[in-house]
Every structure is written in C-alpha cells, then in structure tokens.
Structure 1
C-alpha cells in the first residue's frame, strides 16, 4: 500500500501536532506502521503555518531525525503567504537549507503563482506534488502542462464531492495520482483509492474521526484504521 500520512494541516494544537517535537513524534509513530512519507504544515512561533526557511527547517529536521528514511513534505499554500511574489521568494530561499530542506512540497494548481512556485521548488532541488482540488483545476493543469520537477498529482476530493469526476478529468496525466478526501469524504475516498489501487493518504489534516465516527486521538490511530 502506497500510503502517506498528513499529520496536521491547519488544525489547532488541540486537534493535531503542531510543534516540531510533536510532529517528529507523530512521524515516528506512523513510520513504524509502514508509512513512507509524511505531509506537514510547519508552524512559526505564533502557531501560524510558515514558508520561511529558518522557521520550517527545525520541523523538517526533527521529523527526519525521528523517522529516518521517511520522505518529508510541506505545504506551499497561499494562506501562508497570499502574495505570490513573496511566496516564491520565500520558497526559493529553501535551497540554502540542509537537513531542514523538505523532500517534496505540495502546490495548489488553482492558486495564483503556482507555476512560479513549482519552478522555485525545482530550482531548490525539491520535488513537486501538484494539488488538484476540482475539475477546473485539472483542466487548468492540462492547459499549462506538467511542470518540471512534478512527481505526482494530489487529487483532493472536497467535502460533499465524489472522486470519479476528478479522476476522469485527470485521466490524461502521466504522473501517479494520490487520491484522498477530507472531512466527510475522507474514508469513502480512501476506500475508493484502495479499490482502484491508487496511492492515498490519511491523517488528522483530513479527518479527526475513525471510520465508525469516533474521535481519533492520534495520527497513528487513523493509520491503524487504514491498515485494518
């Protein structure tokens, strides 16, 4: 099973790990269960998601030390830096990071500046995971083509949506497709991904609940449920 763990997203510290120490511990737990990669939203001192190299590097380095061999990915979401030029500049500076440099980063195709973000990541030696939220985003990606450095498409089925239309719109893509949902679609879409033999992901970013509706305490709880 090609499984990624999404450890925190934009959740608060009450719902998911947010500090470097907590994220490293969570990564070690899911790595012990066979997860090969983790996706995280590193935080600054105020708890906000950050794209600033010296602020995100300690989180990436801590995860790498706690879970050797596990690929570490981060977000480049526009909510962390709405100005495209500043976002690109911050990401371009990641080239100077050492053990704190991510292995890959997700780029949302519907966001302004996404192509420039992809180029900055590639120049920094960081693989690109293309986030595609809906059919219009899939069509936009097809129009502009797969950017250099992209290693997969992250097909993200939104709440109350279905996987089939998005997958149909991405049928042309030569890249592997990692299919996942969020909130009410998290478990149905994961089941669909497994049925289709597609890579998928699970973690507290996507849902706080186990398949039976009970609250998950940790990311490892969710990964155990996937394996079951």
Structure 2
C-alpha cells in the first residue's frame, strides 16, 4: 500500500501548496489517487485552520474527500488537544463523514481509551509506534501498525512489531523520510509519503505539492519491487 499523508500539523506558512480546507484536501486526494495511492491520511482542520476532532468539522472534511475519491481509505489523526475520547464518541452518527481509520500514538497518556473509543464507533485503529518496548498487546479494532522511524532505529522497531502479525506501514519524517521510505519499500512494507512527512524531494529541492512527492515515491517503490 502507498499512502499519501497530505497535511499533518504543518501550517500554511511552511508550504504554499499545503492542503488545509476540505476542498483542497479533496483536490490533493484526487491527484494522488490518480498516481496509484490507495489510502490518504489527513488532519482535519477547523475554520481557523487548527487540527480538530469535532464531529461536524471532521464529517465535512471526510465527506468532501470521499466524494472526490470514493474508493480510497481515509485515515485521520487523533493527535490534537482536548478530550479526544469524548469527541470521537460523537462520530457514531456521521455516516459518510466518518473516517475509515484513525491513528493512535502508543505510549501517549490515555491511548488505550482512545483506541477503545474508535472501536466503539466502528473506526479502525492504526497504532503508531515511535519508541521500542511499548506495545505488547493489540486493542480491539486494530487494523495495522504504523512505525515512525529513523534509519538508525527502524530495524529495532520492526523486530518489536512484526511478531504481532498485522500489516506494517513504515515511514520517516523530514530528513529521514526518503531514506526510511526506500528501506520500507525494499522490505515490501506499506509505505507513505506526502507533505506531512517532508517538504522536499530526494535531491533536496522543495516539492511543488503532494502529487510531485507521490509521483517520486511511486517510482521509488516500483524500482525496489522484486523482479
């Protein structure tokens, strides 16, 4: 699987092409879907551009993106301030505005309660692992494990999570994004790329947009596939 991480918690000042509104996220989702992406990960924003889990704002974003790419998995982040479990509990009636999957950062305070809240509203749980020795059992509804790694600790983290038997998405951030992507593609793990993870192409120049990053990621992924 190639996932596009479209915006993250970045601000508009960091990149002119960063998609923040539902309409811009839908446009970028359509562009990367045309390049072979089967999952998009995004951070819904409120009217002032701050990350949000508030039901109506999440629903507007998800429904707008889903209308543009009806066959693609939509994943959202839960890494925002506030009573996240209570906000997620309000997602039950959202229907087309409910995400397919939501990420939960293992080892954060209350992460198990957050995973349970997602399971109760029929949203898949994507566990995010960034440090070793923090995950020994899987909450109900866990669909995959996302490993956020550096080139130095990727092997250690993979040794921890691979025995759990779930699909693994391996990625890095900023200067680690492309080296970890190449390593993950070599191992045939799920991969992701987008403006959340890096603003730059492998040669160091600033990417034009998510589509340019994904096009390069697709070429990289194909070059590492077994012949």
Q: TM-score, normalised by structure 1?
A: 0.92
Q: Which runs of 5+ in 1 are unaligned?
A: none
Show the counterpart of 2:144. 152
Show the counterpart of 1:109. 106
Q: Distance between the aligned counterparts of 1:197 and 1:210, measured in 2?
A: 21
Show the counterpart of 1:141. 135
Secondary structure of the residue aligned to 1:97 is helix
Secondary structure of the residue aligned to 2:76 is strand
Secondary structure of the residue aligned to 1:170 is helix
* Conservation of the 8 A alpha-carbon contact between 1:102 and 1:126: yes
Show the counterpart of 1:10. 9
Q: Distance between the aligned counterparts of 1:161 and 1:96, measured in 2?
A: 43
| In the alignment, structure 1 residue 163 sits paired with structure 2 residue 154 | yes
Q: Distance between the aligned counterparts of 2:190 and 2:20, measured in 1?
A: 25
Q: TM-score, normalised by structure 2?
A: 0.92
Secondary structure of the residue aligned to 1:172 is helix
Greater mean alpha carbon deviation, residues 56-65 or residues 13-22: 13-22
* Conservation of the 8 A alpha-carbon contact between 1:42 and 1:74: yes
Show the counterpart of 2:189. 198
User: Where does 1:13-24 land on structure 2 (aligned, <5 Å)?
Assistant: 13-14=12-13, 15=15, 16-24=18-26
